A and B are shown apart, each in its own frame.
Chain A
Amino acid sequence: MTARTLSLVLLLALAGAVPATAQDAPAAATSPAATASPDAGPDTGVAVAEDGGLTGSVSDESEWQDLGIAITTFATDADVPTRTNAGTTADLGRALSQIIAANLKNNGLFKPSGPQGLPQPAYAQVQAPDYPVWSMRSADMLVQGYVRANADGQITVGCYLYDVALKQPLAKGGWVVAPADWRRAAHKCSDLVYSRLSGESPFFDSRIAYIAETGPKGHRMKRLAVMDSDGANHRYLTSGQATALTPRYSPDYRKILYLSYLNGQPSIYVYDLASDTQQLITRNTNPTFAPRWSPDGKWILYSMATSGNTDIYRISSAGGGAAQRLTDTPGIDIGGSYSPDGGQIVFESDRSGSQQVYVMNADGSNQRRISFFGGRSATPEWSPRGDQIAFTHIAGNLRVAVMRPDGGGMRYLTDSWQDEAPTWSPNGRIIQFFRTTRDSGLTSIWQVDLTGRNERKLPTPVGASDPAWGPIRP
């Protein structure tokens, strides 16, 4: 994990320093500044600001989703074998551009073309695009890039976004990745393009924990599993001998909280991804449910039933501390999702007689109901942007909806027989949830954007439920 983190720190430096550290780079982009203005000219390095801090004009900002983006096959200085599972550097160049095109297209964000059917820029053209060619093809934006195999086996990937009408670069980034992590470079490039053109924070370079489901409805096996945001790098973490439910990635991606029936009783475990070991979060004979992390990873929320009465508790994730009970009403208080600043928690309670959504301060004080929509409201999840709360609304069917943190502005995002358990993309713009099919009980993970228009099913090897989208990877 440490090595991986280091190489990504390095990549940010590369945004302005690719040519400096890699003398074989295509043309010369000499600015070492990480926050240079793109208006300074095509030879100046353009900022790669993770927080979307770039300024500058895009041809047509209001209609960015309709932009025609040409995504070309990434060039290489030398077609040599790599230690990746993609093949040679030329193979990698094709694969990277395909992943970027699929990312932008599948999420309904842009209307990308390529890499198939487009001219393939030569290595020397990566930083000197042939603008007239792309103008003739009516491309508004152009993505080019390169791949190089380093002597130590690592892969360097450069990514450049150009505005064809303005004939100038808008953004660029460079990353050094370990062979096993080569797909991350494509996600980083996708994030760079998306963030620069939309003004939104990135989200592609992230992972999803979920429950893989196999077998008939009356005897379903449920396993803990993880995958990249596009479904790649899929991996099972548990064997399925014990039913696993409701995973949550820690903010640093080192651990996963989840529920397991390993000891007969439903109990929350914390699974350590580096060592593939796990332990109970509390030594207790009572059942525990619905684990959650605080945004800084320092606290764990869980719900525990005592004599049938369920309340929400928090405990230090470092271990050793005593659990603090946050709710104490008769009835079921369960779940919980922190506001991005960690100051408040939105949760679910049936203290009024049916499941409804409440907000409290992080210490349990000032509990107040915010859902008044008729029916039942469940599984609230606070957006990482703080402006919305996603939840499941139950009135006959189960549907995913959003509301403001004050309970106003309720909108449905889905309309199916049973959609539940929303989870937010790292930038708070897309929601994943799981859909259950009537009678068969087959489950699948879907995602939808905040307009509710762009809905799609995620590719998973088997049935899938309980998605938990992690933050941007460190």
Chain B
Amino acid sequence: MHTPLKTGPSLAILAGALALSACASKAPKELPPEPGPATSTDAGTGTLGPVPGSQADFVQVMMGADTIYFDTDRYDVDSADQVALAKQAQWLARYPAKRATIEGHCDERGTRDYNLALGERRANAAKNYLVSLGIDAGRLSTVSYGKERPIALGSNEQAWAQNRRAVTVTID
């Protein structure tokens, strides 16, 4: 019965840290793990989350900042995109051995060939910004999926806005 008492404070600190980072962006996709019987008082070890430096870790740390969004027919990196890309660059700087592919996408309201080229241009815009933040260009590749891989399946402005995107995927 005294074990929970012993680990109580450190778990509280962990929960506080998670709550804090949740405030910085949208709601976390996964709830923190159940506080089971602790075997260590050392909070924040890797046993509670994805392997540090993995794609799963990247997705969890980014909290949505792995994707940047574009206006119709545009490929410029706006201020919101810059914040997201800076966060990506921070992670990539922490794991210098990691490589990443940036996937460029378009909404369905364009012609097929042009969207392939536009997706490539969007992926390169993201790549170039990461390079400007000091990430080695050799670590970053691009691929365009044009309008072939929508993530939002509706045919409305909201869905199209979600589909005009560049997604950074690190390579495990």
Contact = CB atoms under 8 A, between A and B. Distances in A.
B43 interface: no
B17 interface: no
Contacts of A394: 109-111
A98 interface: no
Contacts of A305: 117, 120-121, 124, 144
Contacts of A265: 143
A144 interface: no
A161 B112 CA distance: 44
A120 B42 CA distance: 95
Given A246-B112, A308-B121, A217 B143 contact: no
B94 to A, nearest CB: 26
A265 B142 CA distance: 9
A30 interface: no
A421 interface: yes
B98 to A, nearest CB: 18
A287 B144 contact: yes
Given A398-B111, A421-B111, A421-B112, A308 B153 contact: no
B73 A420 contact: no
Contacts of A259: 116
Interface in A172-228: 216-218, 220, 222
A245 B108 contact: no
Nearest to B152: A218
Given A307-B124, A309-B121, A439-B154, A335 B113 contact: yes
A348 B149 CA distance: 23
Interface in B115-172: 116-118, 120-125, 128, 142-144, 146, 148-151, 153-155
Of B112, B121, B143, B155, chain A has the most CB atoms within 10 Å of the CB of B112
Nearest to A220: B148
B114 interface: yes
Contacts of A264: 143
B150 to A, nearest CB: 6
B110 to A, nearest CB: 7
Contacts of B121: 305, 308-310, 332
A217 B153 contact: yes
A266 B116 contact: yes
A453 interface: no
Given A287-B143, A355-B114, A308 B120 contact: yes
Given A354-B73, A439-B154, A332 B111 contact: no
Interface in B5-56: none
A438 B109 contact: no
Contact of A378 (B114, B123, B144): B114
A449 interface: no
Interface string B70-94: 0001010000000000000000000
Given A266-B116, A308-B122, A332-B117, 14 more contacts: A218-B150, A243-B148, A245-B116, A246-B112, A290-B113, A290-B116, A305-B120, A305-B124, A308-B75, A334-B114, A348-B114, A354-B73, A398-B109, A421-B111
19 contacts: A217-B150, A218-B153, A243-B148, A259-B116, A287-B120, A289-B113, A289-B117, A305-B144, A308-B124, A310-B117, A334-B114, A335-B113, A354-B73, A378-B110, A378-B111, A378-B114, A379-B113, A394-B110, A436-B108
